[in-house]
Amino acid sequence: MMPLSRIDNPLLAPMTLRTVRPARERGLLRGIATTLAFLAAGALPVAPAQAQSQRNPTIIRDAEIEALMRDYTRPIFKAAGLTQQNIQVVLIGNDSFNAFVADGKRIFINTGTLKQSPTPNEVIGVLAHETGHIAGGHLARMRQQLESAQTAAIVGMLLAAGGVAAGASAGSSMAGNAAAGAMTMPQEMVRRTMLAYQRSEEQAADRSAITYLNATKQSPAGMLKTFERLQNDQIFISQRIDPYALSHPMAAERIAVLSDLAHKSPYFNVKDSPELQARHDMMRAKLVGYTQSPDAVARIYGSQGNSLPARYARAISAYRFGSIADATRQIDGLIAEQPRNPYFYEIKGQSLLEAGRPREAIAPLRRAVELSNGNPLIRMMLGQALVATSDKSMMDEAVRELNFGLQREPASPMGWRYLAMAYGQRGDYPNADLASAQSALLNGEYRLARELATRAKTKFPLGSPGWLKADDILNFKPPQEAMRRKPT
């Protein structure tokens, strides 16, 4: 796990980069995933690459990075006709280069992809490729193909089983062994058929990505550079790989097609704007500051001296590993240079909050909320700071900020927990129980959620909004296996 947090929930610690692994997200990566990384020979096409490698993927929440991803994808989604689909880009805390889709509503991208991509154009190319999968309906069609393949496999195995029975009745061990071996043949044929189908979808996504980039007047050069880098990684194992056992086309073949399409684009030589490149550099610096040791930060940014990204990475590293006084001094220097950057104020508030100085964190967090146009993640951090003061005079503001944040981020268990604490300090116990029930529900603690909702329901007037919300929780039907699991 990356050293962003020692806990799993998004708001348990007031971090700009927050890690999320709530119980209800354990099935997050189910479905047919497609990846940019090359699967190992023999890997099944029906398994999400990251779900296989890490059963509990770490989801990262960060206001600044998510805003940048929205700006990267907005024109791409428009070109693909997906502006009404409310597609989200979800950050996975993993240093490998990878991106995939799993449900048609979310694009998952590893933080390693962001750190390893020096230009916005390279990340935009990755996102355009994944958008091609969503716009092409590849997940739904893959499921249809899978259903057909499963039927074919069942028929094949039944026929092979008949051969086994015939061999056994004839008393021929050779015939029986041959028939038993034949039982695996339909499965292998189906597997290769599915892999071939998935390779065709990958190629279709590549072509769609080029189309979207052309439509938005962006260069496909970054996308081509990404696959050239992947080719260099694959060249060392290409002699040992059966190309028909891969879910993706071989890199050389893929690059040959992509290179032809990319160089035909009239926008091939278009560069990222300086403003976008600057934001990209700051995003990468933030990730390095949070995920690397101070020595690594010094090594990575030592040659950049007093550049803004270098100072950003060092300031984050200082508050995580150094003294709060030094961190505050460095962050104040950043604020002096860009006084309207909301994320500098957010970092300052976060560092003070984590240092056990919530009252001092409130002013910079209020400023961050103002400059970010009320970003919900920052509003919930402000609410957390207000709650942490234990000052009852601040609880009305805490309730307001947390409720505003939860309206746009209703799936934050810790947001609900801090809201429960704020209500509790105000003496509003029915709403405290209701917010606690919502938090427990999101954490997969279904029995606790029902107990809290039952208690809350008795305290609200019949038919009131609180009563109805508690009743909704009581009527929620969780998975049976989750009900059997003891709350943790």
How is the chain split into domains, by residue range? 31-279, 280-484
CB 33, CB 51: distance < 8 Å = yes
Q: Which token pair is 9?
A: 């929930």
Cα dist. 449→6, 423, 431, 466 in Å? 25, 17, 13, 15
Q: Which amino acid would we find at residue 267?
A: Y
User: Strands 88-92, 59-61: parallel, antiparallel or unpaired by DSSP?
Assistant: antiparallel
Which residue reads 């007031």 in tokens?
14
Which residue reads 């065709």 in tokens?
200
Question: What was the pLDDT predicted at 304?
Answer: 77
Measured N-to-C along each axis, helices 173-215 and 63-79 cross at an angle, to the nearest 10 degrees, of 90
Question: What was the pLDDT predicted at 303?
Answer: 77
DSSP string for residues in 249-282: --HHHHHHHHHHHHHH-TTTTPPPPHHHHHHHHH
Cα dist. 314→95, 281, 287, 325, 465 in Å? 20, 14, 11, 14, 48
Which residue reads 């091609």 in tokens?
132
Question: What was the pLDDT predicted at 233?
Answer: 57
Dihedral sign of CA atoms 138, 143, 147, 150 in order: positive
DSSP string for residues in 202-258: HHHHHHHHHHHHHHTT--SHHHHHHHHHHHHHHTTTGGG--GGG-SS--HHHHHHHH
Cα dist. 65→62, 70, 348 in Å? 6, 9, 17
Cβ-based neighbours of 155, under 8 Å, separated by 6 or more = 186
Closest of 414, 422, 410, 416 to residue 435, by C-alpha = 416
Half-sphere exposure of residue 187: CA atoms within 13 angstroms, side-chain side: 10
Question: What was the pLDDT predicted at 55?
Answer: 52
CB 228, CB 127: distance < 8 Å = no
Measured N-to-C along each axis, helices 120-135 and 274-291 cross at an angle, to the nearest 10 degrees, of 90
Question: What was the pLDDT predicted at 176?
Answer: 47
The backbone torsions φ and ψ at residue 316, rounded to the nearest 5 degrees and listed phi first, read: -65, -45
Question: What was the pLDDT predicted at 14?
Answer: 32
How far, in Å, CA of 314 to CA of 65, rounded? 18
CB 313, CB 297: distance < 8 Å = yes
Adjacent-strand bridge partners of 6: none
Question: What was the pLDDT predicted at 488?
Answer: 43
How far, in Å, CA of 295 to CA of 299, rounded? 6
Q: Measure the CA angle with vertex 391, ends 414 and 62; round to 5°.
A: 30
CATH class, domain 280-484, is mainly alpha
How far, in Å, CA of 331 to CA of 1, rounded? 27
pLDDT digits (tens, 9 = 90+) for 451-471: 999 999 999 999 999 999 999
Regions of the chain short of the pLDDT cut 50: 1-16, 20-54, 145, 151-152, 154-157, 160-161, 163-166, 168-170, 174-176, 178-185, 190-197, 234-250, 481-488
Which H/E stretch holds residue 60? strand 59-61
- At residue 59, the 3 state secondary structure works out as strand
